[in-house]
Amino acid sequence: MSETDDLDAWLDANAALLGITVAPEWRDAVRLHLRITREHAQHVMDFELPDDADPAPVFHA
């Protein structure tokens, strides 16, 4: 399966789950967005986090 097929399958599955219609003329832009999102996600996931890492949700300044 090529990367485009892969993204198309993702796009179709998500659209069906969310109950939205993606018009044919939008597909290229949506696919591009998904590709960038996936690349960004991979970069973030590549960072090694220890199991005891905790977010810091409270900010004071």
Partner 1 sequence: MTDLAWASATSIAAAVASGETTAATVIDQTLARIAQRNPLLNAFTAITAERARSRAVSIDAARAAGKSIGPLAGVPFAVKNLIDIADLPTLAGSRINRAHPPATADATLISRLEAAGAVLVGALNMGEYAYDFTGENSHDGPSRNPHDITRMTGGSSGGSGGAVAGGMVPIALGSDTNGSIRVPASFCGIFGLKPTFSRLSRAGSFPFVSSLDHLGPFARNTADLACAYDAMLGPDPRDPVCADRDAEPVGPSVAAGITGLRIACAGGYFRSGASAEVMAAMDNVAAALDAKRQIELPEAARARRSLCHHHIGRGRSAFGPLAQAAMRIRSRRARPADRRCHGSGCLGGAGTKIPPLVSRRRVAAVP
* Helix pair angle (27-45, 3-18), 10° resolution: 100
For the CB of residue 44, give the shortest distance to partner 1 in the complex, in Å.
5
Query: Whole-angstrom Cα distance, residue 10 to residue 34?
Result: 9
| Contact (CB, 8 A) for 11 and 31 | yes
Span 10-49, contacts to partner 1 by CB under 8 A: 14, 17-18, 20, 30, 34, 37, 40-41, 43-45, 47, 49
Which positions touch partner 1 (CB under 8 A)?
Answer: 14, 17-18, 20, 30, 34, 37, 40-41, 43-45, 47, 49, 51-55, 57, 59-61
